[in-house]
Structure 1
């Protein structure tokens, strides 16, 4: 019997740099263009629906890149998008696991550290391999994409990204409607996610990082990040009307949902923010507060202020990391703030969940695991205490009436 399941040499599959993701002013805000510069119609229609369902521009961009990678793979194996089966998805996952990303620029200083562990932060440097989270996100994108086309009746009859059966039956069969609904059955080709280990930045390393900041703007951003636990993208979106000077609050728009939320910040953070505002002058309520200087490409090449981008913020941290020999990221400040709050007995886990903006308490519970730095610090204290000599008991404090030989045995002394 001849199987319809193709046997491909995964290691020999090479993806051509076909197409690209490009921003556009309309809907959707990003689209996938083919080699001729025209939009890939199935992806464009799906992303339009994706926007209509209330998804943010960042999510549209992320989905576009995942679908572009899938399109490149299908072209490499010569399969049309609407003819793909679970065999193609399986081979795609196998290819991602062994493939290396093509860097946009040649590695220079990071070539020797890629994939290694930093001795100061004990964090692993990124390498050119795709992470497990990338594979899982890609599978979720493909399943959503094909669900859309199957509902329209214009795609394959069966979703090529199937779910695992639960105890030999299809997922959710005979579910009791009176019981809380819980998704069952993971996507078939999803790799197991690694266990997350959240670490706090030790106080002395935080002080060293903060000392490397060269401007009041950068000091204000880091001070707000470590006191509010806001994400980098959320901080960069703060406008002039989002600062409450009297109550020491800033308003952010949550990643993904776009929901507005006021977050309390430390007095020190507002001191640095005030110093920064003294430098740049008044900011309108609808204007971003974080500005950077860039040289004009036209009209004389002078300097002008423009909103700070995520890449510019990363460059600030990259320069500081190079001087310190570390690999801290903005997300480390979010983790540090969360763990500091959890160690405060006046705050509950629910309080921390609200500040972090987590939809589910189970996400916040990740921070309840012991931090490696704290465990190592306490064990070092334990070992140091063990090495200290025990205090000698004074004979003068011993009551009268004890025999000399009994005292020698009791106190462990050697008789001469």
Structure 2
């Protein structure tokens, strides 16, 4: 029996259902058009929360499962009857379909998918990135793993399967106990992701970015990030009692492990932090969020302060990028701080691993021990300039039969 091949270009995925915040034990739910939760997804997310997932992770998984639910409705397949062919066709569709947007591109319509000439980073395009597709596959596989292995009253197979064609021996048969375990195999329909090297923001570029910041809050936040290499979500989660003013330390909750860790920050960032807190005009409680922003609320009383979220932080960088013609992100600051530390002879790679919160030293080594292309180009330019300078200082010898003085008169001194 031959399998029917779908024309993925002809499939129209409707924007049915949504992800909504909930006050219950599951902070984010996938709901149908009538507002009722999608029960299989709700049960899985409930288990996901019980295993220690953060609210941000639950939200990310909910959106990936909403996309899967919309796809199954578009191809008219029940969730418990999905096959690997349905996963394959979704991947093919994601590789070709434009991402839905709440509003059309305006400012970025001419730069989408192009490389920024200043930062040399690629602007986000209108399609789904390979990392998004891989994340979608991982979430759907985890969802079906829960139903096929933990619950055992759902579908018979997991439609997101491993590609074992190149696995000729038992997994981890000769595993080195000093090395982390590797995944047993890649997912069958995962697209390849080009390996990107972290790029250090040049000092001149950082000065330009800093000069465009318009508030002491933004100066404190960005200068703290570029000195302690924390993730944006970790910095936004700071409270007043997470500050050690004497030793200039900040306490962050690590993404993933949820472990507490004190990180050293620069004295400059603490100076800007004091100025920002003075601008607030009122003391903050010890357990109060550190970063606040003004937002208009529907209470008829104008602007009100509320804790700063990631969208507000992105708005800060959008204004800076619009003024400079760049596309810097907060993660570029983390990369910059990490590369500066990895190139410092006074710090070991283990020191950098601890600051970054990586579980394995190999992760730090793989990312931050590579040579930056810009540094290589700069050194090669310097090499060529020095060779040219030496050639000018050491003229070529005069061949037999010619007088050096006559050649100097004819061609001039070199």
Q: Do both share a fold (TM > 0.5)?
A: yes
Distance of aligned partners of 1:27 and 1:413 in 2 relative to their CA distance in 1, 3 Å threshold: farther
> Which residue in 1 is equivalent to 2:243?
243
Q: 1:156 — aligned with what?
A: 155
Name the CA shift for 1:116/1:413 in 2 (closer, same or farther; >3 Å): farther
1:399 counterpart residue number: none
Per-residue deviation, 1:295: 2.6
- 2 CA distance for matches of 1:327 and 1:413? 61
What's the counterpart of residue 387 of structure 2?
386
- 1:288 maps to what in 2? 289
Distance 1:368 1:116 in 2: 27
- Distance (Å, rounded) in 2 between the aligned partners of 1:183 and 1:376: 36
* Displacement of 1:379: 2.1
Give, in whole Å, the separation in 1 of the partners of 2:349 and 2:403: 54
Could you say which residue in structure 1 is the equivalent of 2:404? 414
Please report how far the alpha carbon of residue 103 of structure 1 lies from its aligned counterpart in structure 2 after TM superposition.
1.2
Alpha carbons of 1:171 and 1:191: their partners in 2 closer, same or farther (altered >3 Å)?
farther
Q: For residues 256-281 of structure 1, what are the alpha-carbon distances to aligned partners after superposition, in whole Å with 9 as ceiling and x for unaligned?
A: 22211110001111111111112223
The question of whether the paired residues in 2 share the 8 Å contact of 1:165 and 1:171 is answered with: no
2:93 maps to what in 1?
95
**What residue number does 1:190 align with?**
190
Superposed, 1:11-26 pairs within 5 Å as 11-26=9-24
Query: Structure 1 pair 409/206, CA: closer, same or farther in 2 (3 Å)?
Result: same
Relative to structure 1, is the Cα distance of residues 6 and 201 closer, same or farther in structure 2, using a 3 angstrom cutoff?
same
In 1, Cα distance between the equivalents of 2:210 and 2:403?
Answer: 54
Measured in 2, the distance between the counterparts of 1:243 and 1:413 equals 78
The corresponding residue for 1:277 is 277
DSSP 3-state at the match of 2:95: helix
- Determine helix, strand or coil for the equivalent of 1:21: strand
The 1:91–1:247 alpha-carbon spacing in structure 2 relative to 1, beyond 3 Å, is same
Q: Give the equivalent residue in structure 2 for 1:77.
A: 75
Structure 2 partner of 1:343: 343
| 1:161 shift after superposition | 1.0
Query: Could you list the per-position Cα deviations for residues 115-159 of structure 1 after superposition, in whole angstroms to 9, with x for gaps in the alignment?
Result: 011101001100111111111111111111111111222222221
Taking the aligned partners of 2:268 and 2:399, their CA distance within structure 1 comes to 60
Give the SS at the match of 1:67.
helix
1:402 aligned partner: none
The answer (yes or no) to whether the contact 1:199–1:335 under 8 Å persists in 2 is yes
TM-score between both structures, scaled by the size of structure 1: 0.91
1:217 matched to 2:217: yes
Measured in 1, the distance between the counterparts of 2:204 and 2:232 equals 22
Report if the CA contact (8 A) 2:167-2:185 is conserved. no
How far is the alpha carbon of 1:171 from its aligned partner?
A: 6.0
Structure 2 SS opposite 1:98: coil
Deviation, structure 1 residue 413: 7.3
Deviation sequence 1:332-352 (CA, Å, 0-9, x none): 000000000011001111111
Of 57, 66, 69, the residue aligned with 1:68 is: 66
Q: Paired residue for 1:10?
A: 8
1:310 correspondence with 2:303: no
- CA spacing shift, 1:391–1:164, aligned 2, 3 Å: closer
The equivalent residue for 2:139 is: 141
In the alignment, structure 2 segments of 5+ residues that lack a partner are 407-414
Distance 1:270 1:131 in 2: 38
Cα shift at 1:93: 1.0
Q: Distance in 1 between matches of 2:325 and 2:22?
A: 39
**Structure 1: which 5+ runs fail to align?**
395-406
CA contact (8 A) 1:202 1:373 kept: no
Q: What is the number of residues matched between the two proteins? A: 399
| Change over 3 Å in CA distance of 1:413–1:35 after alignment to 2 | farther
* Inter-partner Cα distance in structure 1 for 2:349 and 2:91: 37
1:208-252 per-position Cα deviation (integer Å, ceiling 9, x unaligned): 100000111100011001000011111111100001000000011
SS in 2 for 1:135: helix
- SS of the equivalent of 1:82 reads helix
8 A Cα contact 1:56 1:257, kept in partner: no
1:49 corresponds to? 47
Superposed CA RMSD in Å reads: 2.1
The separation in 2 between residues aligned to 1:97 and 1:393, in whole angstroms, is: 59
CA distance in 1 between partners of 2:42 and 2:162 (Å): 26
3-state SS of 2:404 partner: coil
SS at match of 1:388: helix
CA distance in 1, matches of 2:167, 2:135: 26
Partner SS state of residue 218, structure 2 = helix
| Structure 1 residue 389 displacement after superposition | 5.9
The separation in 1 between residues aligned to 2:403 and 2:324, in whole angstroms, is 52
